[in-house]
Amino acid sequence: MNIKFKMLIKYIFKKILFSILYTFKFFIKKKNYIIIQSYSPYSYSENSRYLFEYMSNYQSKKYKIFWNTESDEISKFFVKQKLNYINFRENPIKFIYIFLSCKILIDCGTKFLNFLGLASYDNKIIKISIYHGGGPKTMPISKILTPERQQDINDHNSFNYINFSSDFLKKNCEDNFQLDKRKTLSL
């Protein structure tokens, strides 16, 4: 099979799976699940790691905290530490159930866990970025609204809330990424 045909089959399969899961999500009750991840499903790092560990150690009876990973090594670590996690490659049914049941997604960057694009269409999921730093992101890439710049603005605005490490960074990013002030925090 040629590459274009394989890509077409994969695209069609994803669209069919999206339709099935999108319909299925209406039958799954939302639970007090929080899914946290780093910038990559193969990484256990960034400030999201420390938030996950803190919330796991001092877990309230109200929420159950999960880390999203695709790494076998990280999964083994979580098993040893008795921490909750989801790993699509390890257990796709558990992953899909937890994902469709969760109420909150937390990420450290500008892309939240969006399996098949389902989270983008689910207004019942609160998406929070704890923002892993300012650096170059605080400065506009271009005064001209290029497609890349527009995508960066869209990525920032896809979250319900974004936490910034300082009021200065918060104000800069509100201006640079056209963020609604009601979406931004500085904790």
Sign of CA dihedral 76, 79, 85, 91: positive
Q: What angle do CA 146, 109, 44 make, to 5 degrees?
A: 145
**Per-residue confidence band for 2, with pLDDT thresholds at 50, 70 and 90:** confident
Q: What is the pLDDT of residue 137?
A: 54
Domain that holds residue 105: 29-132
pLDDT tens for each residue of 50-95: 999 999 988 777 899 999 999 999 999 999 999 999 999 999 999 9
| Assigned domain for 152 exists | no
| Assigned domain for 106 exists | yes
Q: What is the pLDDT of residue 161?
A: 94
In the chain, the percentage of residues whose pLDDT exceeds 90 is 49
**Per-residue confidence band for 184, with pLDDT thresholds at 50, 70 and 90:** very high
| Assigned domain for 185 exists | no
Q: Is the pLDDT of residue 186 over 80?
A: yes
Q: What is the pLDDT of residue 127?
A: 96
**Per-residue confidence band for 134, with pLDDT thresholds at 50, 70 and 90:** low
| Assigned domain for 49 exists | yes
Q: Taking phi first (over 0 means left), then psi (-120 to 50 degrees means alpha), and beta for anything else, what does residue 171 get? A: alpha
Q: What is the pLDDT of residue 133?
A: 60
pLDDT tens for each residue of 90-110: 999 999 999 999 999 999 888
Say which CATH number the domain at 93 has: 3.40.50.11820
Q: What is the pLDDT of residue 1?
A: 60
For residue 33, the cross-strand partners are 64
Q: Is the pLDDT of residue 19 over 90?
A: no
| Assigned domain for 155 exists | no
| Assigned domain for 122 exists | yes
Neighbour count for residue 79 (Cβ, 10 Å)? 10
| Assigned domain for 163 exists | no
How far is it, in rounded angstroms, from Cα 182 to Cα 187?
14
Best CA proximity match to 112, nearest among 136, 130, 88: 130
Higher pLDDT among residues 133 and 157, named by residue: 157
How many distinct structural domains can be found in the chain?
1
Out of 71-75, 122-126, 144-148, least confident range: 144-148
| Assigned domain for 166 exists | no
Mean pLDDT of the chain: 88
